[in-house]
Amino acid sequence: MEKKLGTTFYTFTTHPNTSSQINRITDRFFTLNSLNQKCMEKLDLYYNRENGNVYHEGIASEIPDRISQPLLQRRVETLIGRKGLKASYNTGKSYMKPLLNTLHQKNKKESLDLMLKHLSRRGFGGLKCTELKKDYMKIRVKNCFNALPYSQSNKKVCFEMAGILAACGEVLMGEGMDCMETACTSQGNPYCDFHVFSHGLKTKEKKDEIINSIHPPEEGLVKHNAFHDPLRGETIFKDGSSLILPQGYMAHYQRELESLLGEKPTKKMEYILTKKSSIVTANTIKNKKAAGYLHSPVNFLLREMVKQTQSRGFGIPIVQEFYPGKPYLRLIVKNSFNAHGYFKARKPVCYRMAALCAGFGTALFNRDMDCMETKCTAKGDRFCEFIVYVNPHRRIQSGRSQKRSIQEMATLASL
Ligand SMILES: [Zn+2]
Ligand SMILES: [Zn+2]
């Protein structure tokens, strides 16, 4: 199996026994990164200071680390079995189709080339067409993002990628298509292979699914750089391997999950997983850079959190209340990525955003913090508001779940 780049942000737990593994992964990332630098291409991302949107090739986007979507998929599968994979497939298919439609050309082959290259630049993997016929095609994916958290699985796991490729097929063939994975890197294969075929039914275009994130170029944007490795179909942004998703993608996936699992379990799962990785990200920033800011590491981390959130297209956080020495933080976030596409929600919906704040709060105050969203644009407020606080009711992590975290860590380290 090939080594995977950019696992810096994939590490999971802060258990002391695993710190050496974290270092090993980080070292490997930088070594591989420098080896591949020769073939790296520069990607331009443009940031709009007014509304916090980040544009990739003219399309408003959000940029999570490369593993967070597949990690959620794996957790959903553990919770409710294979039927949970429908959320991944549906999101890939219905949310990527309008975006892929914008790349459609008269010539089929040209069209497909454009789409596959575009997906590669977004960090989904190195995609190649191995067969193109009138009503079916075969696509081979090297370094598929979807298989990242899986190793030695006896099943094919890339359902989100299959959905995305089904969308490619529909744009290309102009009819209803589906996609099935026929071989997967999680089974020890060097590639993931996909078969995209016609299902014989007309496509149903859902009007309300049309993404509103395609914009004409704007004036006065700030430029950010990302680096793309075309051979691996991987994109490095902010020192970590990332996915450039169209704006609203993760919120759409959340709604798919809510319709499968219900609101509460979705909230709990997204919160727990995102908080864990947010703690690791925040601690990495703290350890790497705080040395140069010894006089004010807390201010540094707070500034970094605001910067990272903005540059990843997650929204514009503004700190409202912060008192040195007191474990409490109140902040508002304008244009939260997590609320896109929600209309008239009854409760706040930004579970992942709350988890990001809780994770940074934990690193900031050096103690386990939680976060509660008190206002949300999804329910008609002008902005989202988050309170980061010490939760007196939080149960101490049980021995069993700690053991599970270590196992998860070991799986990730073996990637
Ligand atoms: Zn696969
Ligand atoms: Zn919100």
- pLDDT tens for 385-408 read 999 999 887 654 444 544 454 444
Ligand nearest to the CA of 139: 1
Domains of the chain: 56-219+242-261 (3.30.1380.20), 270-413 (3.30.1380)
What pLDDT does 217 receive? 64
Question: pLDDT higher for 239 or 363?
Answer: 363
- Ligand 2 centroid to residue 298 C-alpha, Å: 25
The closest ligand to the CA of 315 turns out to be 2
Distance from the alpha carbon of residue 311 to the mean position of ligand 2, in angstroms: 18
How far is ligand 1, taken at its centre, from the CA of residue 415, in Å?
14
Q: Residue 294 pLDDT more than 70?
A: no
Q: How far is the CA of 375 from the centre of ligand 2 (A)?
A: 6
Answer whether residue 310 shows pLDDT above 80.
yes
User: Is the confidence at residue 292, as pLDDT, over 50?
Assistant: yes
Spell out the alpha helix ranges (H) of 291-376.
297-311, 351-365
State in Å: Cα 16 to ligand 2 middle: 34
Could you give the CA distance from residue 334 to residue 50 in angstroms, rounded to a whole number? 10
Determine the Cα–Cα distance for residues 178 and 128; give it in Å rounded to an integer: 18
Nearest bound ligand to CA 333?
2
Tell me what the mean pLDDT of segment 148-171 comes to: 93
Ligand 1 centroid to Cα of residue 233, in Å, is: 14
Give pLDDT tens digits for 38-63: 688 999 899 999 999 999 998 999 99
**What pLDDT was estimated at residue 172?**
94
- How far is the centre of ligand 2, averaged over its atoms, from the C-alpha of 121 (Å)? 29
Q: What is the largest CA-CA distance in the chain?
A: 66
Give the best-scoring range by mean pLDDT among 226-230, 372-376, 411-415. Answer: 372-376
pTM of the prediction? 0.84
Instruction: List C-alpha distances in Å: 19 to 31, 109, 283, 297.
Output: 19, 48, 11, 21
Q: 215-219, 261-265, 360-364 — which is least confidently predicted?
A: 215-219
Listed residues: CB within 5 A of ion ligand 2? 336, 339, 350, 376, 384
**What is the rounded distance in angstroms from the CA atom of residue 255 to the CA atom of residue 250?**
9
Ligand 1 is an ion; residues with CB less than 5 A from it: 144, 147, 158, 184, 192
